[in-house]
Structure 1
Amino acid sequence: MVLQDLHESLKVTWRTQDEFQIPWHYGNVEAELEALQQGAALLDFSNHGLLELRGPDGTEFLHNQCTSNIRAMLPDSWLETLFLSARGQIEHLGLVFNLGNSFWVSSPSARALAERFRKFIVFDQVEIEALPWSLLRLHGPGAEAVAQQLTALPPRWGLVKTPHLVLARDEFGLWFLVPASQAYQLAQRLLEAGASPVGHQAWHIWRVERGIPDLPEALGELPQEAGLEGRVSYKKGCYLGQEIMARLEARGNTRYQLMGLLGQKELPSGAEIFREGKRVGRVGTAVESPRLGAIALALLRKELAPGDQVHVEGWSATVSGLPMP
C-alpha cells in the first residue's frame, strides 16, 4: 500500500500543484482547522523533496549556500534556512537536518535546489542525492501526546534517527521523515493513535491567519521584507547574497513588509495591490477563512498601516496586522 491509497480511503479531494497531487481537504475544512488549533493534525508534505549532501566538504559547501550558520550546527539538530540569489532575493526555502555524517535538506523546490547545488560544485568533495522519502507533519497542541505513543521524542529543535525514521521537533509539532515505501504504515499508526487527517487547504488558512509566510510570499523577495529575517544569520559570511544581507543589517532600508489583507471578495494570489492609484504591493497566499472570510498575506509598502484601504483588481480590501484579529 502507498500513501495515496490511505488518502483515497479517507475520501480526499486532490489539487494539482507544480505537477504534484496535493491532499487538499477531506470534506470538512472547519473540522480540519480545529485539529490544527486544538488537536493533532496529520499532514502529508511528500511534495517536498529530500536531498542528502555527503562528503568531506559537505559542511562548508552547505554553509556557503544558505543563510544559516551550518558550521555551528550540532549533530542531531535541525533548522529552517533560506537560499538566496546574488541580489539577496529568496530562491528556495529549506529545512536542514544534521545527521552527523551527512546533511539532509528538505525543500518544496528540491529539484531546482539540487540543480543549483550541482551548478556550484567545482572542486568541492560533496555528493548530492535525492532520497525517496516522504515528509509527514504532526501539528497542534496534541501532536506530542500522539507521537509519544509511537516513539520517544527529541528535544525541541533536536532530532532522533533510526534506519527507517527521522523525527524532528519544533514548538508547533513534529516532522516525520520516512521512506516512501513505509509512509502508509506510519500515517496509519498516527491516525490510530489519535491524529486527524488534515489537508493543505486548512494548513494555508491556519498559517495565513497567523502571518506565517511560505514560498508564495517569499519567492523573489528579501527575507527582511517577507517576514523571514529570523532565518538569516548576520554572524556568518561567504554565502550567496551575504553582501546584500550585511548592507540591510547596517542600513535597514527595506521598503516592504509582510501584512494581512481582509477582502470584500476572494483575493487572487499574485495580484497587484493599489492605493490611490499607486502600486503598493502584491498578494501572496490568498484563502477563504471560515472565521474571517477572504484573507491573504501580502507584501506591502511599509508606510501602510492596519486599517488602511487598498484595492485589488478593483475591489476594496483592508490592511491588517499579523497575526490577524
Structure 2
Amino acid sequence: MTASPPALTRLPSSALRLSGADRLDFVQGQMTNNLKAAPTPGMVAACFLNPKGQIELFARIYKREHDIYLHLAEGQAPLLAARFRKYIIFDQVEVQDLSQELATLHVWSQTVPGWAQDGPDVQNLTFGEAGFTVLAGRVNRSGDPGLDLHYLRRHEDALLSALNAEERPLDELEAARIRASISDAAQDGWAGYLPQEVGLDSAMSYRKGCYVGQEIMARLEARGNTRYHLAQLSGEQLPPHSDVTLEGKVVGRSGASSGTLTLARLRKDLPADAALQVGGVSARLSAATESAL
C-alpha cells in the first residue's frame, strides 16, 4: 500500500536575526525562557513581557553557531525589533528584519527527507540540486509533533517540489490546534495577559536571570497559582476574541475559534456545568477541560 504524502501548511510569519558578540546575553535578558541552556543548534519558545508581567510578544527562538533566529507571527517582527533597539545601549548586537527574505511552513509530521527522527529538535536539512539549506525545528501545532521549516523565499518552489506534500489551509491547522488545546499567543490574542493564564507555561523558566517582567513571574511562582487558566469551550458558531460571561458577568475571554470549539482564558473557580456564553452564544466547558479539572 502506498503511503499518503505528508501534509504541509504555509505559516504567515515574520523573522528577526540577531548577530554580534553580545547577542546571546542580550536576548537572554529580554525573554522568559532560558536560551543559554539550549544546545547549539537548539530552540526554545519564549514570551517578551511588559513590566507588569503581561505578554507583549511570543517567539520561537533558534540558537545557532553564528546568530540567533527569531520566528514570530506575521507583522510582529518590527514590534520586537523596536523593543530590542530600545534596550540596546552598549551591547554589540545587530538586529535585522528578514521577513521579506524568509518564509515558514509547517509539515504535519516528521516525514521530511533528511530529518533524523531520533536526532535533536533542531536540524539543518539540505534540498535541491544546488544544495540549499532549510532550518527545521520540531514543533507541535496540531496535536502531534511536526516540523517547522524556515527557508529563503527564493527556494520555495524547489522546496515544495522536494517535499511532494499535500498542502492544507491554515484554517485546518488552526482547527487541529484548538482541538488539541495548544495555545498560540498571536492567533488567540493573548497580548496583555499573564503567560500562566493562557497555557504558555512551557515558554517560562523560573531559574534564569532577570528579564523585563521577571519580578511578577517570581511572585506568581511563590504564590503557586493564578485566578485564570486556559480552557476549551464547545458550542455552535462560537465567536473568536469575545468576552465569556456567566449570568451577565465577564469571566474570561475567548481566543481563536474553529466554530464548535474555542480556547479561552477562563476563571478557575467556575463549576464544570456552568452555562457560559461567548459573545452571547451558549457554550460549556468541553469534555477535555472537564476531565482536567
TM-score, structure 1 as length reference: 0.78
77-86 or 158-167, larger mean C-alpha shift: 158-167
Residue 225 of structure 1 is aligned with which of 190, 197, 201?
197
In structure 2, what is the Cα distance between the partners aligned to 1:186 and 1:323? 39
Residue 115 of structure 1 corresponds to which residue in structure 2? 82
Q: Give the counterpart letter for 2:79 in structure 1.
A: A
Q: Summarize deviations over 1:148-192 as a string: whole Å, max 9, x none.
A: xx324372423226663212234611121111110122022212x
Distance 1:136 1:151, change over 3 A: same
Q: Match for residue 49 of structure 2? A: 84
Aligned to 2:261: 295
CA pair 39-257 structure 1, distance change in 2 beyond 3 A? farther
Indicate the percent of aligned positions where both proteins have the same amino acid: 35
CA contact (8 A) 1:90 1:218 kept: yes
What is the rounded CA distance, in whole Å, between the counterparts of 1:161 and 1:138 in structure 2?
Answer: 14
1:104-152 per-position Cα deviation (integer Å, ceiling 9, x unaligned): 001012221111111111111100112211111111xxx333x1xx324
Contact 2:35 2:43 in 1 (8 A): no
Which residue is equivalent to 2:135? 166
- Write the letter of the residue equivalent to 1:210: A
Counterparts of 1:32-51 in structure 2, within 5 Å, are 40-45=6-11, 47-51=12-16
* Paired residue secondary structure (1:300): strand
Pairing 1:138-177 to 2, within 5 Å after superposition: 138-139=107-108, 143-145=109-111, 147=112, 150-153=113-116, 155-160=119-124, 164-170=133-139, 172-177=145-150
Q: Distance in 2 between matches of 1:252 and 1:303?
A: 15
| TM-score, L = length of structure 2 | 0.87
Mapped partners of 1:111, 1:136: distance in 2 = 20
> Does the Cα contact within 8 Å between 1:42 and 1:197 map onto a contact in 2?
yes
| Matched residues, number | 273
The 3-state SS of whatever aligns with 2:198 is coil
Give ranges in structure 2 of 5+ residues lacking alignment. Answer: 127-131
- Structure 1 portions without partners, runs of 5+: 1-37, 289-293
Match of 1:136 among 105, 121, 124: 105
**Residues 76 and 97, structure 1, Cα contact 8 Å, conserved in 2:** yes
Q: CA RMSD in A?
A: 2.1
Q: Give the AA of the match of 1:103.
A: I
Counterpart secondary structure, 1:202: helix
Q: Is the 8 A contact 1:137 1:174 kept in 2?
A: yes
Check whether the contact 2:135–2:150 (CA below 8 A) recurs between aligned residues: yes
Report deviation, 1:302.
0.6
Structure-1 separation of matches of 2:181 and 2:13: 21
SS in 1 for 2:27: helix
